[in-house]
Structure 1
Amino acid sequence: MSIITTRKTVVLSLLFSCIAFSSVADTAAQSTEFQQLAESAQRSAEHIQRNEYRHPAQTLQFFGIKPDMSVLEIWPGHGWYTEILAPFLKEQGKLTLAQFRHNDGSLKDDRSIFWARVSERLAQRIADNAEYFGTPDMIELDPPLFYPQQNEQYDMVLTFRNAHIWNEDGNLFATLQSIFAALKPGGILGMVEHRAARLSDISSSAVEGYLDESYVIEAAELAGFTLMESSELNANPADTKNYPKGVYALPPTLAMGNYNKAEYLKIGESDRMTLKFIKPEQ
């Protein structure tokens, strides 16, 4: 081997080492930032307490979110993840929130009216604290459609514990199709969902609020996605998934009231699948 070739090999080796070191350093810094945001004074004590079960820093790291991405968070509710995502993305990236349908007076059922009120409160809170949240865009998701329609606009779509609601209403597959259309080619769908008890390769026990993991993966793949990776970050083996009110018996809902409350608190929040899909490049 010539001296010139040897020098080139050494230079390339050093270059790749520097790139790898820089990537590790960036990942570590990003993880620290997520953790700091998860414990921010902008969050309530109740929200911070749930970090124990939701693992936000590790979950967002698993999905591969970057500060310069265009990200859509679906049905943010009270803003549990928005409190982390908005400040993380506000300088270089862009956060869009797909809120619940606005109550224009036509909503009749109590659940939709309640959700619309939750969305209004979050929007007002963001407007009142723009220095922290920045200025996320707001659209609506009335499953299975986004209003206005979204086409190849996002690097990443995130949905946390929403798929079971779409499934209950018969809209899971069609909503996943809308999400697929909203992502850019190569875009990522990150999903966390309550996981049903698996009985065998072909059967599961899915009480209220839980979904079978294989079923969710198959629905996403039929919509066009490819599963990249799954994680046990949000697994909870203590969740037996056999409660009178399903997942809602567990915290934070505690739908059974004081009945068996100590036991449900001991179990903690539900066992959850954590799935990372990609929209294939066209």
Structure 2
Amino acid sequence: MKRVALALVVSGLALSGTAIAQGADPVAAIAAAVADAQRPETDTARDAARKPAEIVAFAGVKPGAIVAEMAPGGGYYTRILAKAVGPEGKVYAMVPAAFANRPGAMDAINALAAQYPNVRVVTVDYADIKLPEPVDLVWTTENYHDFHNGPTANVAAINSSVFSALKPGGIFFVEDHAAADGAGTTVTSTLHRIEPAAVVREMTAAGFALDAQSDLLKNPADPKTAGVRDPSVQGETEKFAMRFRKPA
């Protein structure tokens, strides 16, 4: 996407209650975040497929925003978000207790937080999120399908918890691997995919309104019949991106 188009996308997305630094340019902030020299080569090598500048713009991230990221993993987006929101913004990297309690599991994300002063790592129960303040944006990428997996999975509780954590008018941004039409949630633990329509149904039930959806990561060559780690599609799966808004 060219800079002009990206500017139009960013300027059209206002996160309710976000404190924007005077004179801050969201387009420049996002471009600088993606170009950040601290990003490892293993991350930048994935940029062509993941289109981070366009995705962050679509989500509505702006300088000064308060973002809560669910399951930050290796920090691919944590680094970009930290730079994009800038020193007047914050990123809460939310890690579930089951992961945090594993020996050494927190080393990487804690090291990342040491590099980016506006990143705070917090251990939470996703079904009962407790943060120091309401947030403008809750972010999750390639993880939502996993919220359906496990013997105690409760997606309705998770979505309700996210709803409560957001400011009025706030956004829940979801990007994930697309399952075939009609698959619903039946392949979340096998193919690690979810049907976009199923996500919309679950979000609507939680009180969110679908604000926008993007085809940025659409890939018609993906048959959606293989797991996301299958060599035939790994790194090239079709993904969907959606913004869900909490009513103001």
TM-score range, shorter chain: 0.7 to 0.9
Cross-structure match for 1:48: 44
Of the three residues 149, 168, 172, the one matched with 1:185 is 168
Of the three residues 271, 274, 277, the one matched with 2:238 is 271
Q: C-alpha offsets along residues 203-259 of structure 1, whole Å, 9 cap, x if unaligned?
A: 68745200011111110111110111111111122211222xx1121xxxxxxxxxx
Q: Is 1:166–2:153 an aligned residue pair?
A: no
2: CA distance between counterparts of 1:204 and 1:139? 28
SS at match of 1:197: coil
Q: Are the aligned partners of 2:138 and 2:172 in contact in 1 as well (CA < 8 Å)?
A: yes
Change (3 A) 1:239 1:118: farther
Letter in 2 for 1:164: H
Structure 2 segments unaligned to the other structure (5+ residues): 1-6, 12-23
- After superposition, where does 1:226-265 map in structure 2 within 5 Å? 226-243=209-226, 246-249=227-230, 261=231, 263-264=232-233
Cross-structure match for 2:4: none
Cα deviation for residue 88 of structure 1 reads: 2.3
Of the three residues 139, 156, 165, the one matched with 2:137 is 156
Change (3 A) 1:102 1:280: same
Change (3 A) 1:152 1:226: farther
SS at match of 2:81: helix
Cross-structure match for 1:124: 111
Change (3 A) 1:227 1:151: farther
Q: Is 1:78–2:45 an aligned residue pair?
A: no
Cα deviation for residue 76 of structure 1 reads: 0.8
Structure 1 segments unaligned to the other structure (5+ residues): 1-22, 108-112, 250-260
| Greater relative contact order, per chain length (Cα 8 Å cut-off, separation 6+) | 2
SS at match of 2:167: strand
Cross-structure match for 1:18: none
Change (3 A) 1:274 1:264: closer
Cross-structure match for 1:36: 32
Cross-structure match for 1:11: none
Cα deviation for residue 47 of structure 1 reads: 0.5
SS at match of 1:145: coil
- After superposition, where does 1:42-121 map in structure 2 within 5 Å? 42-101=38-97, 113=102, 117-121=104-108
SS at match of 1:198: coil
Q: Are the aligned partners of 1:97 and 1:138 in contact in 2 as well (CA < 8 Å)?
A: yes
Letter in 2 for 1:228: D
Change (3 A) 1:182 1:271: same
| RMSD (Å) for aligned C-alpha atoms | 2.7
SS at match of 1:248: coil
SS at match of 2:207: coil
Cα deviation for residue 273 of structure 1 reads: 1.1
The structure whose residues are more often helix, as a share, is: 1
Letter in 2 for 1:91: P
Q: Are the aligned partners of 2:208 and 2:244 in contact in 1 as well (CA < 8 Å)?
A: yes
Letter in 2 for 1:248: R
Change (3 A) 1:135 1:101: same
Q: Are the aligned partners of 1:234 and 1:273 in contact in 2 as well (CA < 8 Å)?
A: yes
Q: Are the aligned partners of 1:102 and 1:140 in contact in 2 as well (CA < 8 Å)?
A: no
Letter in 2 for 1:269: E
Cross-structure match for 1:253: none
Cross-structure match for 1:135: 118
